């Protein structure tokens, strides 16, 4: 009887430890809230863009964020996208000075 109770307690504590370890490792990884699945084909007005994020999974894309907080995904291979990224980076650098 004592061995049976001890085995149950051991299994219980192993289960608690396992759940705690799995939860800790999963929550320590950063997860994206937003990710690009489809890409817009329209050229955006660069003046309205305030930020961007690059992503490679699930698709290679650039997510632009407008002054109003709207997120728009586009292909990073387009010339205007590269120009927009350069301008946003220049604006950020000017604000730091």
Q: What is the pLDDT of residue 6?
A: 55
Query: Tell me: the pLDDT tens digits for 77-93?
Result: 999 999 999 999 999 99
Domain coordinates of the chain in residue numbers? Answer: 1-31, 32-97
Q: Taking 60 as the threshold, does the pLDDT of residue 2 lie above it?
A: yes
The confidence band for 74, taking pLDDT boundaries of 50, 70 and 90, is very high
Query: Tell me: the pLDDT tens digits for 7-62?
Result: 555 555 555 444 444 444 444 445 557 788 899 999 999 999 999 999 988 889 99
What would the CATH number be for the domain defined by 32-97?
2.40.50.40
pTM for the model: 0.63
State the burial class of residue 74 (Cβ atoms within 10 Å of its Cβ: 0-12, 13-18, 19+). buried
């Amino acid at each position: 009887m004592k061995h049976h109770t001890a085995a149950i307690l051991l299994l219980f504590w192993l289960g608690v430890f396992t759940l705690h370890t799995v939860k800790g490792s999963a929550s320590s990884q950063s997860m994206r809230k937003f990710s690009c699945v489809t890409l817009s084909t329209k050229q955006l007005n660069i003046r309205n863009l305030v930020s961007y994020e690059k992503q490679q999974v699930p698709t290679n894309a650039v997510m632009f964020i407008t002054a109003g907080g709207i997120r728009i995904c586009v292909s990073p291979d387009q010339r205007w996208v590269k120009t927009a990224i350069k301008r946003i980076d220049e604006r950020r650098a000017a604000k730091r000075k």
